Structure 1
Amino acid sequence: MNRGIRKVGGTVVVLLLVLIGQLTYLQIIDAANLDGDPRNLRSVLRDFNRPRGEIVTADGEVLARSVRSDDGTEFEYQREYPARGLTVQVVGYQSFVVGNVGIERTYNRQLSGRAPELRTLGDVLRAKETTGTVVLEMRAAVQRAAAEALGEQRGSVVVLDVRTGGIVAMYSNPTYDPQPLAGHDTQAVADVFAALSADPAKPDLPRAYREIYPPGSTFKVVTSAVAFDAGTATPTTVFPPLDALPLPLTDNVLRNFGGATCGGTVFEAFVVSCNTVFARMGLDLGTRFPPGLERFGVEGPPPPLDVFPGAARNTGLEGADYRTDTPKYAFAGIGQGTVATSPLEMALVAAAVATGGTVLEPRAAREIRAADGAVVEAFAPRPWKTAMTPATAQALNAMMRAVVERGTGTRAQIAGVAVAGKTGTAQNSTGSPHAWFIGFAPADAPRYAVAVIVENGGSSGSEATGGAVAAPVAARVLEAALTP
C-alpha cells in the first residue's frame, strides 16, 4: 500500500514539475513570441488601444503613424499610412482583422513599445506606455523615382547601399492602398482583403522579394564569376563565333538573340551578350556550377530579409545531374531553364561585384529609436556570403562598365558618372520576354546597386529588350540615389 502511494505521489510530483516547467517556458522564455503573435487576440486588442511608434524613412518622411480614433468603435487609435501604395510592400500594414505584414510585423514589439530595450525601470514601475520608432534605410526621393520610372508597367525596382546592404528603395507595381486594411469595420476590411487576394494582377504580391523570374542575360555576371574563380575561363578566353550551340544529349540547339553570330573573348561576348559563349561556359563548368551558385545565394536558403514574410527562395540547378541533365547547365549559363531569381537577389549580385565579392545581408531597417529620439538599436552591416574573389570582381567591374559605355546597356548612362551594368531579355512562359537591368554606380567608387525588371517587356511587349526598357529605369533611379 505504501509503495502504491509513493508511486502515485511520485507521478504527481513529476506532473507538477512538468506543469511548472511549461508555465515557466510560456511566461518567461517564449513570452515575447506569444506577445508578438498576431493570432494572440488579447495582444492585438491591446496594440490597437495604445499608442504605436512611427515608421519613417532615412530622410525623415513618416510612412506609418497612429492617431486618436473618433470612429465610435472600441478602438482608441487608428493607424495611418500617408504614402499609401508607394511603400506598402516594405512598410506593410497593421490590421485587427487580417494581421500584420511587412515592417509592421517584423518590428511589432519595438513599435508597440514591448521590446525591453525601450522600457526603463521607471516606465515599468509607473506602468508608463512607451513606443519605438523604426527608421528605415529607404530614402523617399529614391522610392518615388523608382515608382515614377516604372510607371504603369508591371515590375520591380530594388536599390541597395553597397556599403551597408541597406534597402534604399524597393518598389513593385501593381501595388495597393493599405489604409482600408487598417480600418476598424471588420466586415469592410474582410471585403477589401478578399478582393485584393482575388485580383489576378496580384497587387498584394511584393514582386521585388517574393516573386522569382528567369534572370536572362543578367545572370551572365554569375556565370562569369563562377567560371573565373573555377579557372575554366578568363576574360581573355576566346570562343569560336557561332549562331547556335548544339546541346549535348539532344538534337536541339541554343541560339543567339536575333539569330546573330558571335564569339571572341569572354569580355567582348559579355559586352554584346552572346548566348552561345555563356552557354558553353555553363557546360564547361559542369559540376562546379552549383556550388558557385550557392556562393551567390542562388541555390540554398534565400537571402535573410527583415521584411515579413521574407524573401523568396531562388532556384538554380538543384537536383540537376550533369550526366543526364547536361543541357540544363547550358541554359543556366544564360539565366534560363531552371534558374529563377528575385529582383532582390539580382541586386545582391550587382552589389557583390561592387563590394569586391562580398554579399551583405539586405536590410530595410536602419535603427530603432526610443520615444525621446535616442537610438536604442542600430543595425550594422552583416556579411552573408562571399560570392567571388576580389580579382574576379575587379574583372567584372570592367566588363560591366563596357556594357554601359558601348554595349547593350548604353541607355543606363548618367552624365558625369561611370555606370556598370548588365542587360537581360528573359524568355518565359507567361508571354513576351521580361526586360532586366542590374548594375551599380559610380563604377570607380560604388555606392548604390540596382536591379530592375519590367515584366513581359512592359509597353514594348515582344519588341522589348533589357537595354531599351529596363536600363533607362535604372539610370533614372541611380541618378536619384546619387543626388544628395
Structure 2
Amino acid sequence: MDRQIKTLAVGMMVLFTSVFLKLNQVQVVQANDLANDPRNSRVATRDFARPRGAIQTADGLVLAQSTPTDDQLKRLRQYPGGQLYAGITGYFSFTYGASGVERAYTDFLSGRKASTSLKGLGDVFNDKEQTGNVTLTIKNAVQQVAAQQLGNRRGAVVALDPTTGGILAMVNFPSFDPNPLAAHDQKAVQAAYKQLAADPAKPLLARAYGEIYAPGSTFKVVTTSAALERKPELATKTYPVLKQLDLPHTTSDLPNFGGSSCGGQLPQLLKVSCNTGFAQIGLDLGIDALKSEAQDFGFASAPPLDIPGAARSRFPDTTDWLRDDPRLAQSAIGQNDVVASPLQMALIASAIANKGVAMKPHVMGEIRDNEGDVVRRYLPSSWRKPVTPEVAAAVTQMMIGVVNGGTATGIAVPGVQVAAKTGTAQTTGKNAHAWIIGFAPADAPKIAVAVIVESQPGVSEATGGRVAAPIARAVIQAALGAP
C-alpha cells in the first residue's frame, strides 16, 4: 500500500510540475506573442477600437483604410482594392483575426511597434494616436494589367524586381472580397467566410504563393543550370534525335510534346523544349546533382516572403531511387512530384536574371508614421545563390534563344530582348497547366515574371507558349512602360 501511495504521490508531483511549467511558458515566455497575435479576439477588440494605418500601392492607390463608426467596434476596416488585392492585403476581421499584410505588419498599422509608438509619446498630451501607413512595392498599373490578362481563368501571375526582390504584381484568380470579412455584423461575417471556405475553387487560397503545381518544362532551367554547374561536359554533348526515350527498368517510354522528334546540344534542347534530351540529361547528371541543384534554387524550403502562407516547393524523395531511376528522367522535365509555387518559379527566373542571386521576395516597401516620416524601410538582401554569374549568363543566352525562335516567341516585346522558358505541365486529367517564366530586358533585367494558367476542361492546346506567354508579355510591357 505504501508503495502505491508513493507512486501516486510521485505521479501527482510530476503532473503538477508539468502543468506549472506549461503555465509558466504560456503566461511568461509566450505571453507577449499571444497577447499580440492578431488571431486573438481580445487583440481584435482592442485594435478595432483604435486607429489603424492605411495600406497603399507604390503608386499611391489606397488598398485598406479604417473609417469611424458609431457602433461598439468604433472603426470599420475597408478595402477599396477588393478582390484584386485580397491575396496581398489579406483581411482584418474581428471574428477571424488577420491575414496577409494586415497580419504581417499589424504592430506597425496599429501603432504598437516601438518605432511608431515611442515616436508618438508627445502626442499623449494632444490626444493623438500614432499609426503606421504601409506602402507596398506593388505597382497598381502592373497589377491591373496582370489581372486583366489573366481574366477569369484560374491561375496566378507574379512579377518582381530581380535586383531587389520587391514584388511588382501578384494576382490570383479566383480571389475574394475582404470587405464582408471585416464587417461588424458577426453573423454575416461568419456566413461569408463559410461560403468562401466551402467553395471548391478555393478563393481564399493565394495561388501566387500558397499553391504548388508541377512546373513542367519551366523546370528545365534548373536542369540546364545543373548541367552547366555540375557536369560542364554535358554542355557540348550532342543528344540523339528521338521521338521518345525508353525509360530504364521499365517497359514505358517518355515522349516529346505532340509526338515530335528532337535532339542536339543543350541550347537547341532548351529552345524547342526537348523532353527526350532533358530526360537523358537528368539521367546523365544523376540523382544527387539534380536534387542538389533544385535545393540550391529553393526547392525543399518556402520562399521567405514577408507575408504568411508561402508554400514549400518540393523535389521528390529519392531515398529508394536507383542510380538511373526512371523517375529521375521525369523529374528533370518538371514532372514526377516536382512541385513549385508561381512565386518560386519567378524566383528561379530572377536568380538567372540577377547573375545567379535570388533576392528575398517582399511586398512591403516602407512604413511611415502619421507625420510622414519613414519608420521602417525594407532593405533588399539575398536569399540564395544557386549558380555562378557565368552559368547565369550562359542560361540567359539559351533563354533568349527560346524567345527568338523557340517555344516562347509569344512573350517577345518589340525593342526589348526578353529571356524566357515555357512549360506545359501534365495533370491527372487530360488537360495541362500552361506556364511561362522569364525576365526583361535580358541584358539589364528590371522585371522577372512567372505565369500559370491552370488546366481548363474542354480547352485543347493549352501550352505555355500559347496561353501564358501573352499574359507575361503584357505584364513586362506594363512594368517597363513599353508599347
Is the Cα contact below 8 Å between 1:158 and 1:208 reproduced in 2? yes
Residue of structure 1 equivalent to 2:479: 481
Query: Does 1:104 pair with 2:102?
Result: yes
| Cα distance in 2, alignment partners of residues 117 and 246 from structure 1 | 63
CA deviation after TM superposition for structure 1 residue 369, in Å: 1.1
Other structure's SS at 2:236 match = coil
State whether structure 2 residue 427 is matched by structure 1 residue 407: no
Alignment-derived partner of residue 161 in structure 2: 161
8 A Cα contact 2:403 2:411, kept in partner: yes
User: Which shifted more, 38-47 or 187-196?
Assistant: 38-47
- Paired residues for 1:58-457 under 5 Å: 58-70=58-70, 73-120=71-118, 122-123=121-122, 126=125, 128-231=128-231, 233-286=233-286, 287-298=288-299, 300-308=300-308, 310-323=309-322, 326-456=325-455
Give the deviation of 1:31 after TM superposition.
Answer: 5.2
Where 2:50 maps in the other structure, the secondary structure is coil
Q: Check the 8 A contact 2:41/2:95 in 1, yes or no.
A: no
User: In structure 1, what residue type is equivalent to 2:475?
Assistant: V
Q: Is the 8 A contact 2:171 2:208 kept in 1?
A: yes
How many Å apart are 1:322 and its aligned residue?
3.4
In the TM superposition, structure 1's runs of 4+ consecutive aligned residues that sit over 3 Å from their partners are 29-32, 123-128, 232-236, 319-322
Q: How far off is 1:218 after superposition?
A: 0.6
Aligned residues of 2:41 and 2:97 also touching (Cα < 8 A): no
Q: Residues 368-387 of structure 1, C-alpha deviation per residue, up to 9 Å, x if partnerless?
A: 11111111111111111111
After superposition, the Cα gap between the structure-2 partners of 1:462 and 1:325, relative to the gap in structure 1 and judged at 3 Å, is: farther
In structure 2, distance between residues paired with 1:61 and 1:165: 21
1:447-480 alpha-carbon deviations (Å, 9 max, x no partner): 1000000101x58722211101100000000110
- Alignment partners' CA distance in 1, 2:236 and 2:416: 27
2:216/2:333 contact within 8 Å kept: yes
Question: What amino acid sits opposite 1:447 in the alignment?
Answer: K
Superposed counterparts of 1:458-469, under 5 Å: 458=456, 461-469=459-467
The TM-score with structure 2 as length reference comes to 0.91
Q: Given residue 146 of structure 1, which amino acid in structure 2 is its aligned partner?
A: A
Q: TM-score if structure 1 supplies the norm length?
A: 0.91
Structure 2: how far apart are the matches of 1:394 and 1:101? 39
Tell me: CA distance 1:422–1:460, structure 2 relative to 1, closer, same or farther (3 Å): farther
CA distance in 1, matches of 2:108, 2:458: 45
2:38 is the alignment partner of 1:41: no
SS at match of 1:75: coil
**What is the Cα-based RMSD across aligned positions, in Å?**
2.1
Q: In structure 2, what is the Cα distance between the partners aligned to 1:244 and 1:320? A: 27
SS of corresponding position for 2:400: helix
Partner in structure 2 of residue 4 of structure 1: none
Alignment map for 1:1-16 (pairs within 5 Å):
none
Tell me the SS of whatever aligns to 1:461. Answer: coil
Cα distance in 2 for residues equivalent to 1:35 and 1:148 = 41
Relative distance call for 1:288 and 1:322 in structure 2 (3 A) is farther
One-letter amino acid of the structure 2 residue matched with residue 403 of structure 1: V
Q: Structure 1: how far apart are the matches of 2:458 and 2:478?
A: 24
> What's the CA shift for 1:411?
0.7
Matched residues, percent identical?
A: 48
Query: What corresponds to 2:7 in structure 1?
Result: none
Count of residues paired in the alignment = 461
Query: Shift of residue 34 of structure 1?
Result: 2.4
Conserved 8 A contact 2:39-2:96: no
